Amino acid sequence: MKAFVRKLEDSDRWLAFTLGLLTLVLFLAAEATNGLAYLPFYAVLLIDLAKRGARRIRKRSKALLGAARSTGSR
């Protein structure tokens, strides 16, 4: 297990501190605004899901068209 855990260097400590501080600020903002602080994250998630869904539908429709063309005898 020790092979997977590496010590934080001085240059990485500010990054870990900043991420921790931003996480704390986000949670406090969500508490103060009754969860409204999470709305941008929900919007990003919904846009990503819509893109994935559209890609899946396009891929499936192309597969169906190709399968329909290749059923005839030659």
Output the pLDDT for position 68: 55
| pLDDT surpassing 70 at residue 71 | no
Mean pLDDT estimate for the chain? 80
- Encode pLDDT of 6-38 as tens digits: 666 666 888 889 999 999 998 898 899 988 888
**Cα separation values, 23 from 9, 52, 67, Å:** 21, 27, 49
| pLDDT surpassing 70 at residue 46 | yes
Q: Residue-wise over 48-60: b if at least 16 C-beta within 10 A, else e?
A: eeeeeeeeeeeee
pTM: 0.49
Work out the widest C-alpha separation in the chain, in whole angstroms. 69
Question: What CA–CA distance (Å, rounded) separates 74 from 14?
Answer: 67
Rounded mean pLDDT, 44-73: 77
Question: What CA–CA distance (Å, rounded) separates 10 from 70?
Answer: 61
